[in-house]
Chains A and B, each alone.
Chain A
Amino acid sequence: MNTTNKREKGIIYSLDALISFLIMLFACLVFAVILANNATQLEKNIYFFELEEKAMLIADSLVKNLDTNNSLLGACTYNTNTKRVESNKIDLELLFRAKQIDSNKFIVKRITVNDGKKTELNLSSAVLAECIAVKRFVLADGKKAVIEVETCRK
């Protein structure tokens, strides 16, 4: 009688443990799958983030600085009276002398100035899949305009 009782108990415990174990295994599987998916998603995000960051940095530099060597990194006007670079005031002549940046990861494909009529400066003819266009609002030669800088991953 005692032996039977023990056996019955044992069976119940084992079945229960088996169910728990299976549930835990399933939980671990779900957890691992979701972690793997998250890792892939994060990798994609970082990849995209890098391009987005560079596109924004280039566009920001263009509308905030003055660089006479390469106006892609600064095409603002210089006020000789105040001795200050005037941010968001763009010298179009200087802007259209922009040269390609020296980077092995990114290129600026095109700069578009829209002040009522669209003017484009193509810096590369390469066909690239991953591109981001960043818009900035400026005064281009005294006229309100939207400058669009299209940056692509090589």
Chain B
Amino acid sequence: MQKVKQKGFVFSFEATISILLLLLMLFYLPETKSNSLKELLALEEANDLLRVWSITGINESEMALDLNTLFGTRAGLEINERIIVKGNAKNNSVSTEGIILNQELKEEKIRITVFLD
């Protein structure tokens, strides 16, 4: 009975070590990070909109149309924290914010959120 116990202990101890090592190796496998500039591009495009709107002035319906032209439904627009365009939210997103003076020289805080895949 004692012999069996000893055998079992020896076997399980070594097996446990090797299984643990195997699990450790599998757990810490390196992951490939996808190097893409799509976030930067989305920010550049959103900043283009802010730049153009700062020249043409603020008009909510036109702004929504411009946003739709450039991003389709994958972007949201807020003016003074009021949602103008909601957009199809996804897990990843980037946001850019700008302050534009309107015709009465009042500050309008504009935020564009672009949803990435």
Contacts and interface: CB of A to CB of B under 8 A. Distances in A.
Interface of A: 9, 12-13, 16-17, 19-20, 23-24, 26-27, 30-31, 34-35, 37-38, 41-42, 45-46, 48-49, 52-53, 56, 60, 63, 87-89, 134-139, 144, 146
Contacts of B45: 135-137
B109 interface: no
Contacts of A52: 36-37
A88 B51 contact: yes
Of all A-B residue pairs in the complex, the 10 with the closest CB atoms, nearest first, are A20-B18, A137-B48, A41-B32, A27-B22, A88-B51, A38-B32, A23-B18, A49-B35, A27-B25, A45-B35
Contacts, number: 88
Contacts of A31: 25, 29
A87 B70 CA distance: 18
Interface in B1-15: 7, 10-11, 14-15
A144 B10 contact: no
24 contacts: A16-B14, A19-B15, A20-B14, A20-B17, A23-B18, A23-B22, A24-B21, A27-B22, A27-B25, A31-B25, A37-B32, A45-B34, A45-B36, A49-B36, A52-B37, A53-B37, A60-B44, A63-B48, A87-B51, A137-B45, A137-B49, A137-B52, A138-B48, A139-B56
Nearest to B62: A144
Contact of A12 (B11, B17, B70): B11
Contacts of A87: 51
A34 B29 contact: yes
B55 interface: yes
- B interface, over-half SS: helix
Contacts of A42: 32
Interface of B: 7, 10-11, 14-15, 17-19, 21-22, 25-26, 29-32, 34-37, 40-41, 44-45, 48-49, 51-52, 55-56, 66, 69-70
Given A19-B18, A135-B45, A27 B32 contact: no
Contacts of A146: 69-70
Interface hub of A16, A35, A87, A139 (most chain B Cβ within 10 A): A16
Given A45-B34, A52-B37, A137-B45, A27 B21 contact: yes
Interface hub of A49, A53, A63, A137 (most chain B Cβ within 10 A): A137
Given A45-B35, A56-B40, A88 B52 contact: yes
